[in-house]
Structure 1
Amino acid sequence: MIGEIVLVGLASGIGAVTRYLMSNLSIVFKKIGFPIGTYLVNIIGSLLIGYFFGRFGSQAESYKIFATGFCGGLTTFSTYNFELFDLLENHDYKHFAEYFLLSYGLGFIAVLLGLWLAK
């Protein structure tokens, strides 16, 4: 049990560092007005969670380490919602709609694709 907790914590840290590095893409692509870094980590995280669930099942230690740990550290609901707010605050309704619809729509499709890839 302690070993599993430590591994989930380590995996979460690796996921968070990966997210931090990906957030630099948002800075690079700031001129297009679309928060690409957060978008990508959330879609990739959705794909991986679907894959890990399909591959291991939700009760397996591997699933807990990779999905809860790594993907939990990688994906970011709070940053996503702040960026949505920021787009609205700046009256950028086009990018708000794209970000919202693409994140939820493609995120769900990514989970399904991850499940399919695991089988």
Structure 2
Amino acid sequence: MNLLLVGLGAAIGAIIRYQLTRLGPRIVSEYPLITFLINLTGSFCLGWVTGVELHQPEMLFWGVGIMGGYTTFSTFNHELSQLWLRRRYHIFFGYLLLTYGLGIMVAAAGLYLGQSSQSG
């Protein structure tokens, strides 16, 4: 049952990510904005899901499955490597630092809001 929950959640998360990537325009020419926004919203949502302390089946579906399928570390690293190979070092370092720095901050914000919703 756990495998089914994770697999179904991952499929849903991947479909959502694919649709956003496909429909989202590249607003800034070389900056991978869509992946950046997907990873930040995923970090926030995973923080929130962790903060509300779901039971294991719900956490497997929402946290491991959907958020795991929605966020994308492999695409992030591929885009970083392409920026490096094209010698777009300023974009490379900005993308790297903003993704990790803001990712940690929004995950912490989500965790805080999730915990706050439990106590109120």
| Distance in 1 separating the partners of 2:40 and 2:28 | 21
TM-score, normalized by length of structure 1? 0.88
Question: Is 2:93 the counterpart of 1:103?
Answer: no
| Distance in 1 separating the partners of 2:13 and 2:86 | 30
CA-atom RMSD, angstroms?
A: 1.7
1:80 to 76, 79, 83: 76
Query: How far did residue 30 of structure 1 move?
Result: 6.7
Q: Percent of counterpart pairs with the same letter?
A: 37
| Distance in 2 separating the partners of 1:31 and 1:75 | 20
Superposition map of 1:1-119 within 5 A:
2=1, 4-24=2-22, 28-29=25-26, 32-56=29-53, 60-118=56-114, 119=116
1:56-83 deviation digits (Å, cap 9, x = unpaired): 25x6221111010000000111110010
Aligned residues of 2:8 and 2:65 also touching (Cα < 8 A): yes
Q: More helix per residue: 1 or 2?
A: 1
| Distance in 2 separating the partners of 1:54 and 1:99 | 27
Name the count of aligned residue pairs.
Answer: 115
TM-score, normalized by length of structure 2? 0.87
| Distance in 2 separating the partners of 1:31 and 1:102 | 15
Structure 2 unaligned residues grouped into runs of 5+: none
Structure 1 unaligned residues grouped into runs of 5+: none
Query: How far did residue 10 of structure 1 move?
Result: 1.2
Aligned residues of 2:48 and 2:113 also touching (Cα < 8 A): yes
Q: Which moved more, 1:17-26 or 1:61-70?
A: 17-26
| Distance in 2 separating the partners of 1:111 and 1:35 | 20
| Distance in 2 separating the partners of 1:30 and 1:85 | 20
Structure 1 stretches of 4+ with a deviation exceeding 3 A read none
